[in-house]
Structure 1
Amino acid sequence: MEAPVSRTQKLNARPSPYSPLRHGAFRAVWLAFLVSNLGGLIQSVGAAWLMTSLTGSAGLVALVQASTALPFMLFSLAAGAIADNYDKRAVMLVAQVFTIAVSVVLAGCTYFGLIIPWSLLIFTFLIGCGTAVNNPAWQSSVRDMVPRQDLPQAIALSGVSMNIARSVGPALGGVIVAIAGATAAFAVNAFSYLVLIVVLFRWRPQIQARRLPPESLGSAMGAGIRFVAMSPRIRIVLARTFVFGLAGSAVQALMPLVARDLVGGGPATFGLLFGAFGIGAIGGGLSSNHIRLALGTETMVRLSFIGFAGCSLGTAFSSNTPLTMVAMGLGGACWVLVLSSFNVAVLVSSPRWVAGRTLALFQMAVFGGIALGSGTWGLLAERFSISEALVLSALVHLLAVLIGLRWVLPDNKEVNLEPLNRWKHPSLSMEIEHRSGPIVITIDYQIREEDVREFLALMVERRRVRRRDGARHWHLLRDLAEPELWTERYDTPTWLDYIRQAQRITQADARIVDRLNELHRGAGPPQVRRRIERQPVSPPSEADDPHETDHDSTDPPQLPS
């Protein structure tokens, strides 16, 4: 008998958080994104502080963050569909070129004094659009850069990259704004994208040959929504992600006002607070695997919600810059611990064909919460006070802990979501094209009476998987004359949709397939029939004789006497 593995041995055997950096492609792109994120944070500081000089409205100041987050809520799903259907490297390049162009125009308009509050919000919105298109392609391409066992560490390091920039960028941005103004901050951001563009041009990923043509944008977006709707694990993660983004956005959206009004500082103080948040996030990112292994994912997430509530309360009641920086550090650590856990849970629950779309919906949940929360907390701060708005956000965090007791986060036990690859193209006696349809599929099973209960339980999962992968109008039928005969029936709009649906079955779904085959008692495997739906056509009547003269269309119809 093998000796039991101790907790110390488990901790010592865990993968290094830096292991993905051994892979050259990931390391180069990761460093390039670090530089790009650094420029983005400098730009964020410049935009937030410029808004405080353009207006005294707390609502407009908070909308700077909302305008950056809103594109993620609006366009992430489309961006994810594009990433899943086209070359991810090309998608990232287009997004970066667009973003650098907008950044250059923003810097120019600021230099010539053409910026007003609403035009600043438009520019930050457009920069957010470029980032929203880029991120699903980047996050889903991590699978192409590192082996399977390094995937959780690579995801954590992606968050660390952002938070290293978060720790240095705001402080550097505050100094740049204080010395040279917001124009310089915007110019630095524009140049930061050049490094990433060069690295992406040099990266040559191994692109898997596509066996099927790409889906249309609308169809691909619908498939992503359907997959998440039929995946309970992902639904729980996205719901809790939205709540966390909603509550956690208060601290970041109101941070310029905290620096100016609660601790009486300027742009440099704002940069220090932002940097403290980022330093805490780095610590949280690098220690996330250790904490998750020691406490479990759900416990870590609940404690992080409580910790972020403490950050909000500490910030609300502090008038001392160092004390507020400590609160910000705690908030940054909790922020990355929660979001990295949610990100990993989504990715390990998504097969490759839809990973970009599920990650896009994750982004929509995060930034949808941030966008809604930023505007809400800004209005509350304007209506009441900054401190009261922060206290309310802390209460929402504590309420979210109670929500977690009801909807527990699924564990990050990785399942094999690679294609099952058992489906073979059937031999057909008639010609059919990809657009032909609708296609009706029936599968006949012979099930003994004593196996019916287990069969029905398996069919619950079978229905979910079929509908998740694209089947429509799923039904289970039982023959009245032959009760042991059961028929599974569903349809797809076209023959191409049927092929997609059949090829999306994963290795993790094999348990259902294999057990159903075991329960089937007929001669040979369950019989599959594929039919194309056709509408009946009435035969031509005498009234339709083409040799007869047509009546004038203006004549009224003759009624029978």
Structure 2
Amino acid sequence: MVDVVDVRRDAPRVEPPATDGSSAWAPLRRPWFRALWIAQFVANAGTWAQTVGAQWLMGDLGGSALQIALVQTAATLPVFLLVIPAGALGDVVDRRRLLLLSQTLMLLSAAALAVLTAAGAVTPNGLLTLTALLAVGQALAAPCFQAIQPELVERDELPQAALLNGANGNVARAVGPAIGGLLIAQAGPAAAFAMNAVSFLGVIAVLYRWPRELIPQPLGAEPIRQAIRAGMRYVRSAPAFSSVLARSAMFMVFASGLWALLPALARGPLDLGPNGYGGLLAAVGLGAVVGTVVLPRLRERLGTPVLLLGTTLAYALAVAVVGLATSLEAVVAALVLAGLSWVAVQSTFGATAQLLLPTWARARALAYFQLVFMGGQALGAVAWGLVADTLGLTAAFLLPAGGLVLTALLSLLQVPLRLDEDVRHSELPWPQPPSALHWADDAGPVLVTVEWRVRGSDVPEFLVVMRELGRARRRTGAFLWGVFQDADNPELFLETFTVSTWHEHLRQHVERGTVADAILEERARSFLSGGTEPVVRHLVWAYAVPSALPDIEPEVLPHAHPEPTPSAGPAAADPP
């Protein structure tokens, strides 16, 4: 068997004694989580102040309505386009260094914008460009910040950590615009940009001092394109994680209506000014803080499925009340409930996603979670904005409220998510790959066959387990998986799967196995006829070139030629 290096990448940390996992504040007792949480709050508030300053400055520069709208596009489009490759990069390189790079890029972009604005040299196009550069930094950071959470807190504290991070963002959303508006009124937009630049210094300082262990990579770093493909393959072959993505997408499409239309509600029926709108956002932030305190106990008493159902319905109620209420007091109360429910649903989905993912695929898979989060908000905002223009503001609140009720009811029909699978790295019970020829890393495709001799009475149950095992093979890199029964001997089965390259198959052996995968394979082995073992064969595409064939002339080896001889015909040269 190949020597396996544990690649869990768990950072060494000196922590206080184990805490009560149900405590809302348990993660804050972890020093590095606490330090990063505080630094991120300052940075999040600075980012919201920057957003207010950029929109205000574009108006001062005489920008058209389109250019003012493009400020929001510049702040979100790069994240939407780059978050998937950024997630793959987060699994390939040291996440701490990637986060330091992203925060430095954001600091320099904000500082450049502050200097140019103070000097009166900024233009509308320059403002959009620097705003887009800030968004590039955000794209690089978003998957990694989620992926490092299991390294900062214990596994049973992840739901509380997600709650605290959600409250962090919501309170910063309320505080940041207020600070930005005050700075703009007193010193102009350049002051808001300067504040944002300074806000990144805390995050950079914490990340620089964080003693994260370097990631062991026994097979070297993955090429970024292969890492992206591996992430896509993992998401497609992980039903539980895909279910989290689908349910989060449904919630986001309907839930985004409240955030998209709240400014129109403040300006229209409520007749509020900028300070009044800031008060509405503060109510949402208050709800998030209340949720951070009460939700851990509610989750402990009710269980996650019931809590998720109840908070989704509560959010639907809040949206409906906001759309129908004529008094400011009722709207504020509904927004407090909305903030609590929002942070409950999003933190539950976020923590569940982290618990389901192995370390080797965590950042690249969480990038899809970020994509769903942002995409659902963007699509929902457009859809409910069109409804408001066509049917009125009240309908634009009531229809998404109904959609949220439907989302909650549909969740009752879905299989509950399993969180008991152990996704820590583990050695798999596989034989060592053949070493007679030292194949080049990119040699392939590689066809792996496994011959199983199964007791006749166990065949039906064996085939059920093999379906799950097939998903595990795909998650770690396989495609074209199948299992076939021998026509002459019904107790003989041949499992086949293909891997793109020899190096990719070695990663299956060394880096990507989990404890859950090993348990699944042992279940399949339990059905074998007495005394037998699976017979494994590795077949490399015949025209792949070995990297080293000592004392043998290439001309005498057909597989040493990437192109066939003319007599072989064109079909023999094309990979499957």
Both structures adopt the same fold (TM-score exceeding 0.5): yes
Q: 1:54 to 1:319 in 2, by over 3 A?
A: farther
Alignment correspondent of 1:233: 240
| Distance (Å, rounded) in 2 between the aligned partners of 1:80 and 1:208 | 16
SS at match of 2:226: helix
Q: 1:369 to 1:63 in 2, by over 3 A?
A: farther
- 489-498 vs 154-163, which moves further: 154-163
Q: 1:356 to 1:282 in 2, by over 3 A?
A: same
SS at match of 2:526: helix
* 106-115 or 515-524, larger mean C-alpha shift: 106-115
Shift, 1:453, TM fit: 0.7
3-state secondary structure, aligned to 1:445: strand
Per the TM alignment, residue 338 of structure 1 is displaced from its structure 2 partner at its CA by: 0.5
Q: Is the 8 A contact 2:434 2:538 kept in 1?
A: no
1:491 maps to which of 484, 489, 498: 498
Alpha carbons 2:20, 2:26 under 8 Å: kept: no
Matched with 1:190 is 197
Q: 75-84 or 420-429: which moved more? A: 420-429
Contact 1:66 1:371 in 2 (8 A): no
Deviation, 1:539, is 6.8
1:519 maps to which residue?
Answer: 527
Q: Work out the CA distance in 1 between the residues paired with 2:475 and 2:137.
A: 30
- Measured in 1, the distance between the counterparts of 2:474 and 2:420 equals 22
Give the whole-Å Cα distance in 2 for the aligned partners of 1:397 and 1:179. 42
Counterparts of residues 174-323 of structure 1 (less than 5 Å)? 174-318=181-325, 320-323=327-330
Does structure 1 conserve the Cα–Cα contact (< 8 Å) formed by 2:22 and 2:300? Answer: no
Mapped pair 1:416 → 2:422: yes
Contact kept, 8 Å, 2:309 with 2:408, in 1: the verdict is yes
Contact 1:171–1:272 (8 Å) recurs in 2: no
Q: Distance in 1 between matches of 2:460 and 2:298?
A: 42
Alignment of 1:48-87 (within 5 A): 68-87=75-94
**Which of 431, 436, 443 is the matching residue for 1:429?**
436
Residues 115-130 of structure 1: pairs in structure 2 closer than 5 A: 124-130=131-137
| Structure 1 unaligned spans of 5+ | 1-11, 542-561
C-alpha deviation, 1:481, in angstroms: 3.1
Q: How far has the Cα of 1:469 moved from its partner?
A: 1.4
Aligned residues: 528
How high is the TM-score relative to the length of structure 2? 0.83
For the structure 1 residues 516 and 399, does the alpha-carbon distance in structure 2 shift closer, same or farther, using more than 3 Å as the test? closer
Displacement, 1:212?
A: 1.4
- Residue 375 of structure 1 is matched in structure 2 by 382
TM-fit CA distance, 1:51: 7.0
Give the unaligned 5+ runs of structure 2.
1-18, 544-557, 568-576
Contact 1:463/1:474, CA 8 A, preserved across alignment:
yes
Give the drift of 1:108.
Answer: 4.9
Q: Which residue of 1 aligns with 2:362?
A: 355
Q: Which residue of 2 aligns with 1:89?
A: 96
Query: Which of the numbers 353, 356, 360 marks the counterpart of 1:346?
Result: 353
**Bigger radius of gyration among the two:** 1
Tell me: CA distance 1:101–1:281, structure 2 relative to 1, closer, same or farther (3 Å). Answer: same
Task: After superposition, give the CA deviation of every residue in 1:399-436 in whole Å (9 maximum; x if it has no partner).
Answer: 3223323335525x342101221356445223323222
The one of 505, 508, 517 equivalent to 2:513 is 505
- 3-state SS of paired residue (1:268): helix
Q: Distance in 1 between matches of 2:478 and 2:40?
A: 39
Please point out which of 537, 540, 543 is paired with 1:532. 540
SS in 2 for 1:255: helix
1:265 Cα deviation after fit: 2.4
1:532 maps to a residue whose letter is V
Residues 4-43 of structure 1 show CA distances to partners (whole Å, capped at 9, x for unaligned) of xxxxxxxx96442222223222222222111111212222
Whether contact under 8 Å (1:437, 1:532) holds in the other structure is: yes
- The CA deviation at 1:215 is 1.7
Q: 1:226 is matched by which residue type in structure 2?
A: R
Q: Of 449, 458, 480, which aligns to 2:456?
A: 449
Distance 1:372 1:420, change over 3 A: same
1:498 is displaced (CA, Å) by: 0.6
CA contact (8 A) 2:159 2:347 kept: no
CA contact (8 A) 1:178 1:267 kept: no
Which residue number in structure 1 is paired with residue 25 of structure 2? 18
Question: Structure 1 residues 338 and 115 mapped into 2: Cα distance closer, same or farther (>3 Å)?
Answer: farther
Q: Against the structure 1 CA distance between its residues 119 and 299, is the aligned structure 2 distance closer, same or farther, given a 3 Å change threshold?
A: farther
Distance in 2 between residues matched to 1:115 and 1:266, nearest whole Å:
28
Identity %: 36
CA distance in 2, matches of 1:99, 1:143: 25
Measured against aligned partners, the alpha-carbon deviations of 1:369-394 in whole angstroms (never above 9, x if no partner) come to: 11122233334444554444233332
Corresponding letter in the other structure for 2:84: L
- Structure 2 counterparts to residues 320-339 of structure 1, below 5 A: 320-339=327-346
* Residue aligned with 2:536, SS: strand
State TM-score, norm by structure 1: 0.85
Q: Contact 2:162/2:348 (CA < 8 Å) preserved in 1?
A: no
* 1:183 to partner: Cα distance: 3.8
Distance 1:147 1:406, change over 3 A: closer
Q: 1:73 to 1:408 in 2, by over 3 A?
A: farther
- Alpha-carbon displacement from aligned partner over 1:500-559 (angstroms, at most 9, x marks no partner): 123422111233211221211154421212222215687788xxxxxxxxxxxxxxxxxx
Aligned partner (choices 152, 161, 168) of residue 161 of structure 1: 168
Q: Is the 8 A contact 1:156 1:286 kept in 2?
A: no
**Cα–Cα, structure 1 residues 106 and 234, in superposed 2: closer, same or farther, change >3 Å?**
same
Q: Could you tell me which amino acid in structure 2 is paired with residue 252 of structure 1?
A: W
> More deviation in 192-201 or 64-73?
64-73
More off after superposition, 299-308 vs 361-370: 299-308
Q: Is the 8 A contact 2:150 2:354 kept in 1?
A: no
Contact 1:277 1:332 in 2 (8 A): yes
1:66 positional shift: 5.8
Change in Cα spacing, 1:155 to 1:237, as seen in structure 2 (3 Å) is same
Cα–Cα, structure 1 residues 107 and 361, in superposed 2: closer, same or farther, change >3 Å?
A: same
- Report the Cα offset of residue 351 of structure 1: 0.6
What is the CA–CA distance in structure 1 between the aligned matches of 2:260 and 2:509, rounded to whole Å?
46
Q: Deviations over 1:269-302 (max 9, x none)?
A: 2221112111111222332222222222222222
CA distance in 2, matches of 1:113, 1:279: 39
Aligned to 1:38: 45
Letter in 2 for 1:315: V
Offset at 1:337?
Answer: 0.5
Aligned partner of 1:98 among 97, 105, 127: 105
Task: Please name the residue that 2:148 is paired with.
Answer: 141
Q: Work out the CA distance in 2 between the residues paired with 1:303 and 1:94.
A: 40
- Measured against aligned partners, the alpha-carbon deviations of 1:51-103 in whole angstroms (never above 9, x if no partner) come to 78899999988876565444443222111101111011111111112212332
